[in-house]
A and B are shown apart, each in its own frame.
Chain A
Amino acid sequence: MSSVVVFVFWAVIIIVGYFLYSKWVDTTIFRSDSKRATPAKMYMDGVDFMPANKNILYGFQLNSIAGAAPIIGPIIALQWGWLPAVLWLGFGVLFIGWVQDYTSCMMSVRSDGDTFGALSYRLISPRARLILLTFVYFYLLLIAAAFGNVISKLLSTKAVLPFPMLVIVAVSLLVGQMIYRWRVNILITTVVAVAAIFIGIGLGGYIQIPGSFTAMLIALLIFGYFSSILPVWRFIQPFNYASVYVVYGGIIAGVVGLLIAHKPITLPAYTSFSIGMGPLWPLLFVTIACGAISGWHSLVSSTGTSRQIENEVDVRPVTGGAMFAEFTIAIIAVVICATAFADSSQYIATALKNPAGVFTTGLASAMATIGIPASYGGAYAGCMILILAMTVVNLVFRFMKVATAELLGDHIGVAKNPHVATIVAAVLAFILIQTGTFTHVWVLFGGSNQLMAGLALLLVTLFLASKAQSYTFVALPMLFMYITTVAALVYKSVELLSKVIMGTVAGTVLIGNLIAGLIGVVLVICALILAWDGYKAFKKYTAEKVKGAVKTPA
């Protein structure tokens, strides 16, 4: 089977999804109005509320939502065959993914720039805000565990990668110093940074640093601690800035390589409904999160982006456009991996243990077709995926620090201490990574991420119902996501906890199963409480509609 088929499917989804369906929703349901003042204009304070050009916002949105998940998730899900993965990516983004990103942003824009905390308080119930915060904390912990595992595994299995990553960290510190302290021209800074990183990647082959998984994990958590404690300008921002060029250089090289090589797909289209990881439904739908739909996007859309939208008409290209771009990244990842191996046994041997390693091999193979040496391509691809994962880990520890202070600060004074909150987050992530099995943690992460998307769609449904507007196009995806993700979390929690209860696991695996299983249970309880409160709120809004409430613009 030629990979061209997948690209034709990709093009059809983009045309139908972006140019037809999203335009229809934008013009007939939300009726975006270029004359209506947006929060960025109404409440402009030059800081949070500040109108920005749609092209700038498109770049900002894409950079904020694109991590390693649209690459890692599809690679793991290829075990069910490439066809289910591609179909879920396509139909997921078409009917659910962009809908969530767009409507989350539009809801915030039409609610004076309110974020999910305030909206859940107003639209669902007063306790919804606290439950949402609890949910988000565990969601962040699972992100840290899933990505921490990917990073540590890749660094410990490829000794050529630690040195380039150290170079990138050093360059990031230098970039921060050059821009903010020495006031060096941004162009010069960029050239110096990119050149140093590219040389560093090349030197990785000569200066190899072997290390165990635990050693790399501890190094990563120390890195996460400093990311959380240091001022953003000192490290996180320069790291993101310097690494953008590496990531998008890798994507361009990969796409060009794929187009030139147009290799046939070697993995089977479909394997079986039930595999070692579990059944296709519900697990495939949480294993592939970003690329099809991701709750993280709704948080980005309803906070940073919604307060910078200059014109309501821009919401569709900015949020919907970025979602379809991320779908494109996921499709590229699928094609790269589905064409890189001689047969499926090679893929199966590495996919579960080290999915990032699978991508590294695939991208290096694609880059080799345009003349980039395989050794350099392999190191480059490894650095690229590490950067994507580390940008997320950087932010997660910062957010967990804030969430700890919010959740416990009033009762336990020390929780407000940023060092203590960060160390607690790092220790929790360490325990989860060291004791938990990667695939279980990844499924729980995907489940919490997709459940976050379900919550976002629930909020949008209630928002539209409160305005007596048509909500079916959001309510149906919400029900699908809610049922699927709760089923996945229940399935995984029962699987993990039953092993603990039956005594079939012992030692660290027992602890890992117990922790991961309990986190799954907490997430399900939070989701069910929010669903119940949401149902009561929905009945209230629809009753008002029956009584003859005036239909107001969404």
Chain B
Amino acid sequence: MTEKKQKKKKRGGIVGFFQDFTYGMATHGMARHAVKTRSSMEHLFILITMGDMLGVPILPPYYSLRLLPHVVPQITTWKRRMLREKDFVDSLY
């Protein structure tokens, strides 16, 4: 049995439902908030290196180059988050 199938089997059934349900009730909101906090930190992190990517050095190039490999994988999703239209209701949940 593959690892994927084992994982699927483990999550199924009534026990799996209650595990997921309890996680959803008690912890999912906390996990989402932790991810949102991390994302706001990433905004700052990416903005530090953004200047170099646009050709306007802000930090000494040495530090930008050290940070760049960490930033590159997040650029796509970061663009989506930054460019998406937001309004008041977004802050509710």
Contact surface of A with B, Cβ cutoff 8 Å: 43-50, 52-53, 55-64, 115-118, 129, 133, 136, 179, 186, 232-233, 237-238, 240-241, 244-245, 248, 299-300, 302-305, 399, 402-403, 406
Contact = CB atoms under 8 A, between A and B. Distances in A.
B70 interface: no
B73 to A, nearest CB: 11
Contacts of B80: 43, 45, 49
A41 B89 CA distance: 21
Interface string B15-49: 01100111111111110111111010000000000
Most A CB atoms within 10 A — which of B32, B77, B87, B92?
Answer: B92
B20 A115 contact: no
Most A CB atoms within 10 A — which of B22, B29, B81?
Answer: B29
A304 B30 CA distance: 13
Interface of B: 11, 16-17, 20-30, 32-37, 39, 77-78, 80-81, 84-85, 87-93
Contacts of B25: 59-60, 62-63, 244, 248
Contacts of B77: 44-47
Nearest to A42: B80
Contacts of A45: 39, 77-78, 80-81
Contacts of B20: 53, 55-56, 58-59
A529 to B, nearest CB: 18
B88 A136 contact: yes
Residues of A contacting B: mostly: helix
Given A55-B20, A60-B24, A186-B27, A115 B33 contact: no
Given A50-B35, A233-B34, A233-B37, A399 B92 contact: yes
Contact of A59 (B21, B37, B39, B87): B21
B80 to A, nearest CB: 5
Contacts of B21: 55-56, 58-59
Given A59-B22, A117-B87, 9 more contacts: A45-B80, A55-B24, A56-B21, A56-B23, A60-B29, A63-B25, A64-B93, A299-B89, A303-B92
Nearest to B34: A233
A239 B92 CA distance: 18
A48 B81 contact: yes
B77 to A, nearest CB: 4
Contacts of B92: 299-300, 303-304, 399
Contacts of A233: 30, 33-34, 37
Given A45-B81, A233-B37, A117 B29 contact: no
Contacts of B17: 55
B24 A63 contact: yes
A248 B55 CA distance: 56
Contact of B24 (A50, A56, A136): A56
Contacts of A61: 24
Most B CB atoms within 10 A — which of A49, A56, A241, A302?
Answer: A56
A46 B35 contact: yes
Nearest to B87: A117
Given A43-B80, A60-B25, A118-B85, A232 B33 contact: yes
A237 B91 CA distance: 15
Q: A-B pairs with the 10 shortest C-beta distances?
A: A59-B24, A304-B93, A117-B87, A55-B20, A59-B25, A56-B24, A45-B77, A115-B89, A59-B21, A47-B39
B88 to A, nearest CB: 5
Contact of A403 (B27, B88, B90): B88
Contacts of A50: 32, 35
28 contacts: A43-B80, A46-B39, A47-B36, A47-B39, A48-B81, A48-B84, A55-B16, A55-B20, A55-B21, A56-B24, A57-B24, A57-B28, A59-B24, A60-B29, A63-B25, A63-B29, A64-B29, A118-B85, A233-B34, A233-B37, A237-B30, A238-B30, A241-B26, A299-B92, A299-B93, A303-B92, A403-B88, A406-B88
A240 B25 CA distance: 9
A240 B37 contact: no
Given A44-B77, A55-B17, A300-B93, A60 B35 contact: no
A129 B35 contact: no
Given A55-B17, A59-B25, A60-B29, A402 B88 contact: yes
Most A CB atoms within 10 A — which of B21, B39, B78, B88?
Answer: B88
Contacts of A241: 26-27, 30
A129 to B, nearest CB: 7
B18 to A, nearest CB: 8
A238 B92 CA distance: 18
A323 to B, nearest CB: 16
Contacts of A63: 24-26, 29
A313 to B, nearest CB: 16
A244 B26 contact: yes
A133 B85 CA distance: 16
A117 B24 contact: no
